[in-house]
Amino acid sequence: DTAVSQTPKYLVTQMGNDKSIKCEQNLGHDTMYWYKQDSKKFLKIMFSYNNKELIINETVPNRFSPKSPDKAHLNLHINSLELGDSAVYFCASRTTHWEGTGELFFGEGSRLTVL
């Protein structure tokens, strides 16, 4: 059973469209994240949610909006897509309590291509 799953894996769309990427984790973690891997391969944090509260927004354009219906899900909605939004988006989760190594568990990634 996949620990962190995100859909779709591939998404091709036109500029100006609105799209969503879904993420679910079955690890019981208290915090979920969205990362963007750009063309230079850097993994940059976009958002994190802890117990349904947004606790970070790293200067991401407000066209991007995370939505968390419950602590097992963190969806990413993107309005008015631009060419520069083309990237691979990774969902991740972790526990921030003092157990284990606190590492991030990543989904497989969603490759977004904006034409």
Partner 1 sequence: DQQVKQNSPSLSVQEGRISILNCDYTNSMFDYFLWYKKYPAEGPTFLISISSIKDKNEDGRFTVFLNKSAKHLSLHIVPSQPGDSAVYFCAASKNYGQNFVFGPGTRLSVLP
Phi, psi of 54 (to 5 degrees): -70, 125
Structure tokens at 26: 């079955």
Q: Give the residue ranges of DSSP H helices in 12-111.
A: none
Nearest CB to partner 1, comparing residues 66 and 107: 107
Q: How many residues appear in the chain?
A: 115
Q: Are 24 and 70 in contact (CB under 8 A)?
A: no
What distance in Å separates the CA atoms of residue 80 and residue 17, rounded to the nearest whole number?
Answer: 5
Taking contact as CB under 8 A, which single stretch among the options 21-29, 65-73, 75-83, 102-110 is the one that binds partner 1? Answer: 102-110
Residue 31 C-beta: closest distance to partner 1, Å: 8
Report 19-78 residues binding partner 1 (CB under 8 A). 33, 40-45, 48, 56
Structure tokens at 1: 């059973």
Residue 96 C-beta: closest distance to partner 1, Å: 4
Residue 105 C-beta: closest distance to partner 1, Å: 7
Footprint of partner 1 (CB under 8 A): 4, 33, 40-45, 48, 56, 90, 92, 96-98, 101-109
